[in-house]
Each structure stands twice: as C-alpha cells, then as structure tokens.
Amino acid sequence: MISLFHTFVYDPLYNTLIGLYDTVSFQDFGIAIILTTVILKVILIPLSKKQIESQKKLQELQPKIKELQKKYKENKEQQARELMALYKKEKVNPFGGCLPIIIQLIFFIAIYRVLLNISGSDFVVNEELLYSFISNPGRVDTLFLGIVDLTKPNVILAVITAGAQYIQMKMMMHRKEQKKTKQEKKQEKKKEVTEEEKKPNPGDFAQMMNTQMLYVFPALTLVIGVTFGAGLILYWLTSTLFMIAQQWYIMKSEKTK
C-alpha cells in the first residue's frame, strides 16, 4: 500500500512541485504549490462533478425521503429497506460524495509529507525521487512572495482559509434552500411542530451531516492552519477557492437555465 502511495501519489506530486518550482514559478515554492493544486483540481473535475450531481439528486429526493421516514418511523428496519429501494430506483448513491473527500485527504497527506521531508532534508531536493526529465534546482526557497515562511504556521492565512471553507459550505446549503418553492416555505411556516417532530430524525443523515460540516470543517481547517506549516494551508486555501469558483459557476449555469 505504501509503495502504491509513493508511485501514484507522492512521487508525481513531488516531481510536479519541483518541476514547477524550477520552471514557471520564478522559484517561489508557494506559487508552485498553488499551480500544482490548480492542476490537480482540474484533473479531478470529473470526480467533483459526480459529487455535485450526487448531492443534487439527494437534495431533490429529500421530500420522498422524509415521507418514508415519517411513514415507517415506528419500524426502522422497514424504513431502511424502503430508503435503499428508493436510492436504487432513482440510481442515487447516498455515500457518493465520500470518494472525492477521501481522495482530497490522500493528496492532503501527500503534500504534508512532501513539505515535511523537504524541511527535514534542510530544503535540499532529493534527486533520487526526481524523474529523469525533471531538473534538480538544488535547494528550495520556502518563502512565499518573499514574506510568508511556508514551513511555519501562519495565523492570518489560517483564518482566511477557514473563512473560505465556511463560505464554500454555506454556498452548498444556500443552494439547497433555493430549491424550495414559495408554497413549500409557506406550508413550513403554517405547519404545527409537534414534540415528536422536534426530535432530530436519525435517518436524515444528509441533513445532519451538512449542518455539522458547516461549522466542523472551518474549525478543523483553522486548527490545522495554526498547527502546521503555511505550505499545507496554502494548498488547502487554493483548493477551497477553486471549489467556490466551481460551485458558483454551476449555480449560475442552473439559474440561467
């Protein structure tokens, strides 16, 4: 498993960073990290598109899901079977958004290992890891724009990244709220909420996850940002901004249609 990680993730990422650092980034490692992240996100667009489509289908199925949860609230086993049948009928995978998150986490770990190993080698490039067509620049300058030391935590960059993460999550939730019609919103206001309905429905997994992620992800990003080197959080910030732009484009396209 470790060998596969190095062959297909770590080594290509290492060579991409060093190659961009030595050619088009003016030997600024921060710019190399940004360019590498953008290239990676572009490659993963098909996967991200599937994730967004899966989330969209789940949102559209929410009324039917709630009906089944209400109908079989006394029989959780039957409720689970009916929900799985609904997912199968509509060709929806409720966990379809997990794979892109796992892949992002893998590359997050890889970029952390790259920065850690470069720092541990006194910022000297390991020639043994370089492909034959990648030239060795020797020593890496870890200052981003001549100001930010990418090997040390940066509170300002961490706060900005956490804010960007919150905006991204809020955009996803706002997109879901826009799906509701005016009539549905009126019915929600008029509806009397019983004590049973006030209790959280354990079956409404997607809704609970969205609410938790809105606050958990930005908080986790902030903790990572003030703990690890700024190079890691610069990668995360670039990735988040790319996702914000991608979601904005999709929302704008849907609005135009």
pLDDT digits (tens, 9 = 90+) for 48-106: 777 777 777 777 777 888 888 788 777 778 888 888 888 788 777 777 667 777 887 88
Question: Could you report the per-residue pLDDT of 113-167, keeping only the tens digit for each?
Answer: 888 888 888 889 989 999 999 999 988 888 899 889 888 899 999 999 999 988 8
C-alpha dist (Å) from residue 18 to 10, 119, 120, 168: 12, 14, 16, 30
pLDDT value for 10: 92
For residue 256, give the amino acid letter: T
Query: SS in 3 state form for the chain?
Result: CHHHHHHHHHHHHHHHHHHHHHHCCCCCHHHHHHHHHHHHHHHCHHHHHHHHHHHHHHHHHHHHHHHHHHHCCCCHHHHHHHHHHHHHHHCCCCCCCHHHHHHHHHHHHHHHHHHHHHHHCCCECCHHHCCCCCCCCCECCCEECCCEECCCCCHHHHHHHHHHHHHHHHHHHHHHHHCCCHHHHHHHHHCCCCHHHHCCCCCCHHHHHHHHHHHHHHHHHHHHHCCCCHHHHHHHHHHHHHHHHHHHHHHHHHHHC
Model confidence, pTM = 0.76
Chain-centre distance for alpha carbon 101: 6
CA distance 22 to 140: 9
Q: For the segment 161-179, what is each residue's pLDDT rounded down to a tens digit? A: 999 988 887 876 655 555 5
